[in-house]
């Protein structure tokens, strides 16, 4: 909003478009210098003058009501009248549709997210795809898109040949019944331990997967069992994270759709033989060949992902396809997208691999094959227990303290992930995530509860209201105080933060925005007397407090984090 005001003040006096001016606007290094700065370098070539001369002329020309312009070297700094614009900006932020973008009207986005592998525990590493995907879902929805989420389960492939082989050799039905996921992981790890010493294991696993693809009764029975017990585990975790999906479609769903893709590749003469396998050459793209069919006739990941992409575009009518999958799959998606392009699928330009870095736990990389996995449920339980301990120490009589501890503990873990740029590795630390100070989820939640506490205290009875003094609004130069004005400026940045977050598929943009809001509010809280005896000051400052609470609640909801009213 402040940028629009700046554009309105500057545009009549320069030969630049609204978009060009908006792209040039900056925030001055100090609030004392003004609220918005416009550099005049771009006008120097056009007007054949030095930037500082242009700045002096432009500052004199700007006459917009409530805007004071001054030249500082090559910059024109704009300072807004606090009393005039505070009310205007707060009224705009209070509108029910504030921050809702309409850029996605009529467009459908399909988000591939979470996608755990069947017969494996739901580890802390699965958190990234799940929560980044869930946040993007909410972000795109706020921008007017029709959003569809798909949990693309890893329920097919040679891993099941390995799982069945391990079960046949070392399986324990009693242990499998008692704790199916733990026993399944033990079998999978045993396979990879023994494969180094037993050359018969890999061929046996490939044969079991071939039998599974051909519909062998025993292979299908075991596969269905592993899928069923895994889904019970996954759904329990999704419920705790408050994450839902529009569709749960595993890789197996596309089995009957792969033959058409292979046939299309053959018809277009894109398939070539390579050591008995069928591949699509991608040398012109600087990539190795994309394997489509293995020498034993079984399919592989790229085949299924090609079928998946066509289904999501042709049947599900996706205008944009997002794949929230780890960065280790960069080459895979580059190959799949390159093959789609060679097949003439022009819509591939709207397919995006939203990749992210690894999540390490206390500096250690996790590996399912070696059994080095930190189960998410254990981390959630520990986080909630620690949050409950803090509540018992500081506010033991808090109502619904177990529900609050759940919101704080899970919120700490989720925010501890989403505050990071998604492409970076995350070295997860439970102790850091649960800190009530600094850049954490509990800090944001506590700030929200502070806004709600002030609002609750402000609800005085009519007799007390009459005792409050009143000064006409037009005599109050800055009703919010300077720190309140700075907070209000941060609140106005929400639409830009949402837009930038969607453009970059980056939830951390909103996470950083929430931190900026909380820090600005806590500075305001410490500097200004919010519950002032002056009626007009009190009303303005409480309105700003309410808007801050609303902004934090909205942003944390988008990120998948709860906001208790008391902590």
pLDDT of amino acid 20: 94
DSSP H helices, 25-126, are: 41-47, 51-61, 82-93
- 78-92, 105-119, 368-382: least confident range: 368-382
- Averaged pLDDT for residues 11-36: 93
* CATH number of residue 21's parent domain: 3.30.1360.70
Strand (E) or helix (H) holding 110? strand 108-113
**How far is the CA of 416 from the CAs of 15, 131, 287, 535, in angstroms?**
46, 11, 35, 40
Q: Is residue 103 part of a domain?
A: no
pLDDT of amino acid 379: 87
Rounded distance between C-alpha atoms, residue 241 and residue 255, angstroms: 30
pLDDT of amino acid 420: 93
* CATH number of residue 475's parent domain: 1.10.730.10
Q: Is residue 326 part of a domain?
A: yes
Q: Is residue 173 part of a domain?
A: yes
The verdict on 349 and 421 lying in the same domain is no
Q: What tokens appear for 229 in the block?
A: 């017990």
Q: Is residue 100 part of a domain?
A: no
Q: What confidence category does residue 434 fall into, taking pLDDT thresholds of 50, 70 and 90?
A: confident
Percent of the chain with pLDDT over 90: 75
The verdict on 68 and 177 lying in the same domain is no
The verdict on 15 and 154 lying in the same domain is no
The verdict on 344 and 381 lying in the same domain is no
Phi, psi of 63 (to 5 degrees): -130, 20
Q: What is the pLDDT of residues 46-102, one digit of tens each?
A: 999 999 999 999 999 999 999 999 999 999 999 999 989 999 999 999 998 888 888
Rounded distance between C-alpha atoms, residue 339 and residue 342, angstroms: 5
pTM of structure: 0.90
pLDDT of amino acid 372: 58
The verdict on 40 and 155 lying in the same domain is no
Rounded distance between C-alpha atoms, residue 434 and residue 212, angstroms: 45
The verdict on 276 and 204 lying in the same domain is yes
Q: Is the pLDDT of residue 367 over 60?
A: no
Q: What confidence category does residue 520 fall into, taking pLDDT thresholds of 50, 70 and 90?
A: very high
Q: What confidence category does residue 373 fall into, taking pLDDT thresholds of 50, 70 and 90?
A: low
Q: Is residue 306 part of a domain?
A: yes
Say how many domains are in the chain: 3
The closest alpha carbon to 508, from 429, 434, 415, 392, belongs to: 415
pLDDT of amino acid 475: 58
Q: Is residue 13 part of a domain?
A: yes
Q: Is residue 162 part of a domain?
A: yes
The verdict on 253 and 142 lying in the same domain is yes
Which residue is listed with tokens 């208790």?
564
pLDDT of amino acid 272: 95
The verdict on 244 and 165 lying in the same domain is yes
Which 3 state secondary structure label does DSSP give 496? helix
The verdict on 242 and 295 lying in the same domain is yes
Q: What is the pLDDT of residues 282-340, one digit of tens each?
A: 999 999 999 999 887 777 889 999 999 999 999 999 999 999 999 999 999 999 999 99
* CATH number of residue 232's parent domain: 3.40.50.620
- Averaged pLDDT for residues 103-128: 90
Q: Is residue 366 part of a domain?
A: no
Structural domain ending residue among the three candidates 361, 387, 408? 361
pLDDT of amino acid 23: 94
Q: What is the pLDDT of residues 457-506, one digit of tens each?
A: 987 544 444 444 455 555 567 899 999 999 999 999 999 999 999 999 99
Q: What tokens appear for 347 in the block?
A: 């819509």
Mean pLDDT of the chain: 91
The verdict on 357 and 383 lying in the same domain is no
The verdict on 242 and 336 lying in the same domain is yes
Q: Which domain holds residue 147?
A: 108-361
Q: Is the pLDDT of residue 411 over 90?
A: yes
The verdict on 128 and 210 lying in the same domain is yes
DSSP H helices, 179-329, are: 180-194, 201-213, 217-241, 258-267, 301-310
pLDDT of amino acid 166: 94
């Amino acid at each position: 909003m402040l940028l629009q005001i700046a554009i309105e003040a500057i545009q009549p006096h320069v030969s630049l478009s609204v978009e060009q001016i908006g792209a040039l606007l900056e925030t001055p290094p100090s609030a004392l210098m003004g609220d918005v700065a416009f550099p005049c370098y771009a006008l120097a070539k056009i007007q054949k003058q030095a930037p500082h001369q242009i700045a002096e002329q432009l500052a004199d020309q700007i006459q917009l009501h409530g805007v004071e312009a001054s030249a500082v070297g090559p910059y024109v700094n704009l300072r807004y009248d606090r009393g005039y614009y505070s009310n205007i900006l707060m009224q705009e932020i209070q509108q029910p549709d504030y921050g809702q973008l309409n850029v996605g009207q009529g467009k459908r986005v399909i988000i591939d997210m979470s996608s755990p592998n069947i017969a494996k525990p739901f580890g802390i590493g699965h958190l990234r795809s799940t929560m980044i995907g869930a946040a993007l879902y909410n972000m795109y929805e706020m921008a007017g898109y029709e959003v569809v989420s798909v949990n693309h389960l890893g329920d097919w492939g040679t891993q099941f040949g390995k799982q069945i082989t391990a079960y046949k050799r070392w399986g324990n039905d009693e242990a499998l019944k008692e704790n199916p996921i733990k026993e399944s992981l033990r079998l999978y790890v045993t396979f990879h331990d023994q494969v180094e010493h037993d050359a018969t294991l890999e061929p046996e696993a490939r044969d079991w997967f071939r039998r599974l693809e051909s519909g062998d009764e025993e292979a299908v029975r075991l596969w269905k069992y592993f899928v069923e017990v895994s889904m019970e585990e996954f759904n329990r975790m999704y419920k705790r994270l408050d994450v839902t999906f529009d569709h749960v479609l595993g890789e197996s769903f596309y089995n009957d759709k792969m033959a058409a893709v292979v046939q299309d590749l053959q018809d277009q003469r894109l398939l070539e033989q390579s050591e008995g396998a069928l591949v699509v050459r991608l040398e012109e793209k600087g990539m190795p060949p994309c394997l489509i069919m293995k020498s034993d006739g079984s399919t592989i990941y790229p085949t299924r992902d090609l079928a998946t992409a066509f289904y999501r575009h042709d049947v599900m009518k996706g205008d944009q396809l997002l794949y929230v999958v780890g960065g280790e799959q960069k080459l895979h998606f580059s190959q799949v997208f390159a093959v789609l392009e060679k097949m003439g699928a022009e819509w591939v330009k709207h397919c995006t691999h939203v990749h992210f870095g690894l999540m390490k736990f206390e500096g250690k990389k996790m590996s399912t094959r070696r059994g080095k996995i930190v189960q998410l449920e254990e981390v959630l339980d520990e986080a909630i227990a620690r949050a409950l301990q803090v509540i018992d120490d500081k506010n033991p009589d808090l109502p619904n303290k177990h529900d609050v501890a759940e919101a704080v503990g899970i919120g700490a873990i989720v925010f501890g992930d989403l505050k990071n740029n998604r492409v970076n590795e995350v070295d997860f630390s439970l102790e850091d995530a649960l800190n009530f100070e600094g850049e954490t989820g509990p800090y944001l939640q506590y700030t929200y509860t502070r806004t709600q506490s002030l609002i609750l205290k402000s609800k005085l009875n009519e007799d007390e209201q009459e005792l409050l003094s009143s000064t006409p609004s037009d005599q109050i130069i800055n009703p919010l105080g300077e720190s309140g004005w700075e907070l209000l400026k941060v609140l106005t940045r929400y639409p830009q933060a949402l837009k930038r977050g969607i453009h970059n598929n980056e939830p951390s943009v909103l996470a950083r925005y929430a931190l900026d809001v909380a820090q600005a509010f806590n500075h305001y809280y410490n500097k200004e007397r919010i519950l002032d005896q002056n009626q007009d000051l009190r009303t303005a400052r409480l309105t700003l407090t309410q808007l801050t609470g609303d902004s934090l609640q909205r942003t944390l909801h988008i990120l998948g984090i709860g906001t208790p009213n008391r902590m």
